[in-house]
Amino acid sequence: DSGVTQTPKHLITATGQRVTLRCSPRSGDLSVYWYQQSLDQGLQFLIQYYNGEERAKGNILERFSAQQFPDLHSELNLSSLELGDSALYFCASSEFGTDNQPQHFGDGTRLSIL
């Protein structure tokens, strides 16, 4: 058990809709990362937060946004959903958000767009 909790585990919705994915980091970790994993694109880094502030941005679409709250949990909002957004979305956390630390991954939210 990594200590990172993601909800919901599965989400099925339709094109054009908006969803929110939630992540609680491991106790003591200040930094949260979001990744998207799909068969064609592999595992793509989306965005990183550290102690409530955005620290790094990756291949995140403008239709997607995220935030980290004072209690350090994070939410990833996906809007105007398209079929191609179907993927596994992972949250990971690390203590200080530096790249010399391992990241601890949750078990993901599987998003299916119909």
Residues that bind other proteins in the complex, under the rule CB under 8 A: 2, 4, 33, 42-43, 45, 48, 56, 58, 90, 92, 99-108
Which phi and psi (to 5°) does residue 108 adopt?
90, 160
What's the min distance (Å) between Cβ of 16 and other proteins? 28
> Closer CB to other proteins, residue 2 or residue 86?
2
Torsion of Cα atoms, 72 then 14 then 88 then 24, to 10°: 20
Torsion of Cα atoms, 54 then 59 then 64 then 69, to 10°: -20
> Closer CB to other proteins, residue 17 or residue 104?
104
The residue to which tokens 């119909």 are assigned: 114
Is residue 40 packed enough to be buried (19+ CB in 10 Å), middle (13-18) or exposed (0-12)?
exposed
What's the min distance (Å) between Cβ of 64 and other proteins? 16
> Closer CB to other proteins, residue 21 or residue 108?
108
What's the min distance (Å) between Cβ of 81 and other proteins? 22
What's the min distance (Å) between Cβ of 76 and other proteins? 15
